[in-house]
Amino acid sequence: MFINIRGGLFDLTTPRIMGIINITEDSFYSASRYNSESEILIAAEKMLSDGADILDLGGCSTRPGAAAVTAEVEKKSVCDAVGLIRKTFPQAVISVDTYRSEVAEAAVLNAGADIINDISGGEMDRDMLPLVTRLNVPYIMMHMQGTPLTMQLKPTYGDVVSEVLLWLSERAVRLRQAGVKDIILDPGFGFGKSAEHNFEMLRRFSEFRVAGLPLLAGLSRKSMIWRTLDITPDEALTGTAALNMSALMKGASILRVHDVKEARQVVTLFEKIYPEGILFDQYS
């Protein structure tokens, strides 16, 4: 439960908060979009002061039905933002949210990103997993059925937890055999799953720990919350906090969120309930 960040150990035995910074005009949650240098720096400073452990920067929307921007546009926007934050906040841990290997490579080697966060688990760019192997930086591998354009048309599973776990585990084994040391698994709430699939995965979230790797839960303001409650994404903060606590109680190591301060409060309360953390034999 430790990963290597620029030669130092980054502890995941206690829950970490990942703040979302979208450098795009097409994210599903408008308040997470930042387009100017000043907006990006203000957002980064606020998230870090509110308790973010990781900043996750993305330059291509992956909401359901989203159309992809070109690789060049994504690379420029992401690298500019990563470089800006690295220069201003040199100690910040920065993740780049991309499924394109050329964007990930430039962000890590040229701009200073620490982590690659890939929604497709290497499925949308065949060069991504070889790149991760070559760079050997921490890799967040998410499961997605289909692509952002098609994933919510008619997602189908026999047993969503078993199938997603098998998919993630097979790829993690291959990466480990290739020498990649730091892998984080993300089952992909809302990516090629119905609301029923999402709630089933959350109910059984602890089962993903059988892989023996840190888990990321990305539940923030997702449609499984606001559609269930018949509200809007802007009104989904309370629901997000509730589901984040559930994920922590079932073994999540990282919460990926839009609202860092509130997520940090959830983690603080969780640690009061479980001061020694969640043990494997406590999973249900």
Nearest in space to 60 (alpha carbons), one of 44, 42, 76: 76
Tokens coding 213: 């790797």
What's the rounded Cα separation, in Å, for the pair 187 and 82? Answer: 26
Taking the C-alpha atoms of residue 31 and residue 23, their distance in angstroms, rounded to an integer, is 11
CA distance 280 to 227: 33
Q: What is the pLDDT of residue 283?
A: 41
Whether 77 has a pLDDT exceeding 80, the answer reads yes
Domains of the chain: 15-273 (3.20.20.20)
User: Which one of the listed residues 100, 171, 204, 222 is annotated catalytic?
Assistant: 222
Q: Return the minimum-mean-pLDDT range out of 60-64, 192-196, 204-208.
A: 60-64
Q: How far apart are CA 154 and CA 266, in angstroms?
A: 33
Out of 204, 209, 256, 264, pick the active-site residue. 256
Phi and psi at residue 188, to the nearest 5°: 80, 60
What confidence tier does 154 reach under pLDDT thresholds 50, 70, 90? Answer: confident
pLDDT of amino acid 35: 77
Q: Does the pLDDT at position 221 exceed 90?
A: yes
Tell me the C-alpha distance between 259 and 80, whole Å: 23
Q: What is the DSSP letter of 81?
A: H
Collapsing DSSP to helix, strand or coil, 278 comes out as coil
pTM assigned to the model: 0.92
Burial of 68 (0-12, 13-18, 19+ CB in 10 A): middle
Would you call 256 a catalytic residue per the annotation? Answer: yes
Annotated active-site residue 222? The verdict is: yes
Six-digit token string for 272: 């009061």
